[in-house]
Amino acid sequence: MKLSEDDIRRITLSAIDELGEKASPELVKKVVQRSVSNFEFEAPKTDKDLSSGRVILTAYGLNNPGIVSAIANALCKSNCDIQDISQKIMQEFFTMIMLIDITNCPKDLKDLQDEMSSVANQLNIKIFMQHEDIFRFMHRI
């Protein structure tokens, strides 16, 4: 289920009302992100919704050899297609963003997120995955 511009506008106005005088652009954005995420998770999903489209994966932590390889191998085993990747080593810190097509993945997004969480724990880094739609809505505000 996709959110319309009107849905986003209503969520944003609700966030501003909720925050009152404390409303700042940063706080409003956080409240809206939380609301959009909750809306997406509460909405009924079909198998197609859970295993199709693209996701954004972000990873960061202290740099160690094999981080990209471990993440790519886990995605490969799940039949995911890495469409774009950007990584940067800033002194001892590793950062990476991937755009991944999960259309052919037999797992739903939640299972894939759990698998990436397991990989992150093994590598002692942080990995976040979110559907492209949620990412777009969060950055529209």
Q: Do 116 and 127 form a contact (C-beta atoms < 8 A)?
A: yes
Assigned architecture for domain 47-137: 2-Layer Sandwich (3.30)
pTM (two decimals):
0.62
Residue with the bigger pLDDT between 29 and 88: it is 88
Residue 2 pLDDT grade (very low, low, confident, very high; cuts 50, 70, 90) = low
Residue 32 pLDDT grade (very low, low, confident, very high; cuts 50, 70, 90) = confident
Helix (H) or strand (E) holding 14: helix 5-19
Please choose, from the candidates 81, 131, 116, the residue with its C-alpha nearest in 3D space to the C-alpha of residue 101.
81
Name residue 72's amino acid: A
Residue 50 pLDDT grade (very low, low, confident, very high; cuts 50, 70, 90) = very low
- Which two structure tokens, joined as six digits, stand for 33? 């992100």
> Residues with Cβ < 8 Å from 121, sequence gap 6 or more?
none
Average pLDDT (30-48) is 61
Each residue's pLDDT tens digit, 62-77? 999 999 999 999 999 9
Three-state secondary structure call for residue 26: helix
pLDDT at 97 over 60: yes
